[in-house]
């Protein structure tokens, strides 16, 4: 791992207990999947990190961060892993190469009401306690993951992923960014590649779907088998999930065939 450019073993790394990133969850982060050591959509992730930081008036050394990422990836070598980037209010730049989480082949989801803080809308903040607790709430209902609903019953996103589903008309749908969801990098790939309606959709629309899936950096495309205990007609995914997975693979292949983004 790397802290402010210093490469360290995780057991040797430390930050001050007085850092407001630790005490108050005041900071921003990104998680980037490494394919054979290649950080997929690195520039897009760093652009979003900068937007998140600007939204909460958090200054950081972007050029220095890029150099530190390059040094860490060179030391890590051609591995399949995840790069986590954290910038704290205390001014620390923390980089970690982590094991990719293990996800089940398909997920059961439970709808969880959410009252979001609009002041952090679209910010990838390290204040993630609410996200993690939503997953625990879903687990108590026999599900693998939560999917948020706003106060009006509109579908938003999962705690760490975007959601897509096939509506009654056979078209692919996903919540619009205007609903307050995160501008997900994986979501952007899918929306750019496939015909997809973005909007404000009620929970009933998701519950009546024949097919649905979650999309994120580490999950990639994960079919949803049930919503609030209602089994979907295609629990292992269908053509939409397959098309989304193919679009993600194509985007990765296209990027790998291009020069490495500057780090």
Q: What is the mean pLDDT of the chain?
A: 94
In the structure, how many helices (H) and strands (E) does the chain have?
7, 14
- The domains found in the chain, sorted by start residue, are 2-98 (3.30.470.10), 107-250 (3.20.10.10)
DSSP type of residue 119: G
Taking only the tens place, the pLDDT of each residue in 57-91 is 999 999 999 999 999 999 999 999 999 999 999 99
CB atoms within 10 A of CB 55: 16
218 or 118: whose pLDDT is higher? 218
How far is it between the farthest Cα atoms of the chain? 56
**High-pLDDT (> 70) share of the chain, %:** 97
**What pLDDT, on the 0 to 100 scale, is given for residue 256?**
87
Taking only the tens place, the pLDDT of each residue in 194-228 is 999 999 999 999 999 999 999 999 999 999 999 99
Residue 232 banded pLDDT, cuts 50, 70, 90: very high
**What pLDDT, on the 0 to 100 scale, is given for residue 263?**
54
If DSSP codes are grouped into helix, strand and coil, which group holds residue 214?
strand
Taking only the tens place, the pLDDT of each residue in 121-148 is 778 999 888 889 999 999 999 999 999 9
**Mean pLDDT over residues 166-179, rounded?**
95
**Mean pLDDT over residues 33-41, rounded?**
97
Strand (E) positions, 122-248?
145-149, 162-166, 172-175, 197-199, 211-216, 220-227, 230-231
Does position 23 have pLDDT exceeding 70, yes or no?
A: yes
| pTM, entire model | 0.90
Q: What is the spatial distance between Cα 147 and Cα 156, in angstroms, rounded to a whole number? A: 7
């Amino acid at each position: 791992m790397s802290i402010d450019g210093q490469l360290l073993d995780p057991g040797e790394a430390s930050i001050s207990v007085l850092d407001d990133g630790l005490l108050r969850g005041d900071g921003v982060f990104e998680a980037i999947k490494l394919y054979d050591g290649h950080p997929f959509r690195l520039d897009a992730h760093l652009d979003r990190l900068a937007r998140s930081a600007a939204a909460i008036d958090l200054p950081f050394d972007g050029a220095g961060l890029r150099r530190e990422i390059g040094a860490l990836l060179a030391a890590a070598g051609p591995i399949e892993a995840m790069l986590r980037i954290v910038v704290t209010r205390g001014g620390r730049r923390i980089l970690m190469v982590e094991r990719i989480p293990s996800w089940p082949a398909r997920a059961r989801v439970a709808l969880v009401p959410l009252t979001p803080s609009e002041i952090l809308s679209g910010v990838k903040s390290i204040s993630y306690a609410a996200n993690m607790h939503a997953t625990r709430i879903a687990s108590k209902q026999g599900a693998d993951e939560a999917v948020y609903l706003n106060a009006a019953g509109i579908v938003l996103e999962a705690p760490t992923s975007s959601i897509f589903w096939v509506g009654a008309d056979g078209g692919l749908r996903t919540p619009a960014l205007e609903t307050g969801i995160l501008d997900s990098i994986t979501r952007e790939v899918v929306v750019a590649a496939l015909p997809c309606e973005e909007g404000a959709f009620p929970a009933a629309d998701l519950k009546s779907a024949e097919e649905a899936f979650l999309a994120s950096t580490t999950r990639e495309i994960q079919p949803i088998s049930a919503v609030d205990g209602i089994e979907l007609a295609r629990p292992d995914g269908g053509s939409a999930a397959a098309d989304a997975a193919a679009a993600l693979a194509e985007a990765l292949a296209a990027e790998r065939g291009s020069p490495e983004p500057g780090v």
